[in-house]
Amino acid sequence: MRTALVTGASSGIGLATATALAARGYRVLGTSRHPETVAPRPGVEYLPLDLTEPESIEALAERVKTVDILVNNAGESQSGPFEELPGDALRRLFQVNVLGPVRLTQLTLPGMRERGYGRVVMVGSMLASFPLAYRSSYVATKAAIKGFSNGARHEFSPYGVWFTTVEPGAISTGISERRTSYIEPDSPHRRDYERMLAALNRNEAAGASAGQVAATIVAAIEKDKPRQRYAVGSNAALVFPARRLLPVWLAEKLTHRRHDLAR
């Protein structure tokens, strides 16, 4: 029986993925900052993990030695004008979205490599491919984690360990309510920022379900040779081919028009 570890498995995409894997017969470890508050889920064992705390990650070193599948899902969504993003908020975001998942993956890889089998799934965002104003910090973290994944897959595929990135578009998971937002009271960006945020929330409310993303993650895991990237939601099957054909300026304009920021 393969063992899967899914971070951020108490809600949203993480919970849907953990539940789907358990239903398919995997032994599933799910993480939560407060596992004692999570309702029991059949086939899912919850472990404590706070990605903002390096010692919390290191505490899982022994448990992850037997993990065959790692889904790095936990993360923070952040927005704000570039010039007004606080340094401490940026450092926390990169710790949670990039450095924490990278370190957890480093702890998990030796066991996968030695057994000759492994799957590492980074849950990214389509915004890494279609950057959006006032989301620069979030875009940067998702581009970074995809970069780690794309490079590492060449190092580990000879050992049967495959890295892949799943990029969701607009997903209806309630993340709008948890997104951190930074803007000064007298910001010159406020009008455009609030317009973008309203559109972002509207798009997410009408977006794909967490279950659809989970199904994509499970399908990637079960491929003999997972692709470098899978995208789901926001008409991904159409917009990625279109992006290859359109000039960069037009792709940017269409992205911003979708968020009521067309110039």
The structure tokens listed for 119 are: 């799957």
Catalytic positions are 138
Q: Is 5 helix (H, G, I), strand (E, B) or coil?
A: strand
Taking the C-alpha atoms of residue 165 and residue 13, their distance in angstroms, rounded to an integer, is 14
Helix (H) or strand (E) holding 145: helix 136-156
Please compute Rg for the chain using Cα positions: 18
E strands, the chain, in order: 3-6, 27-32, 44-48, 69-72, 78-79, 118-123, 161-168, 171-172, 180-181, 208-209, 229-232
Element housing 179 (H / E): none
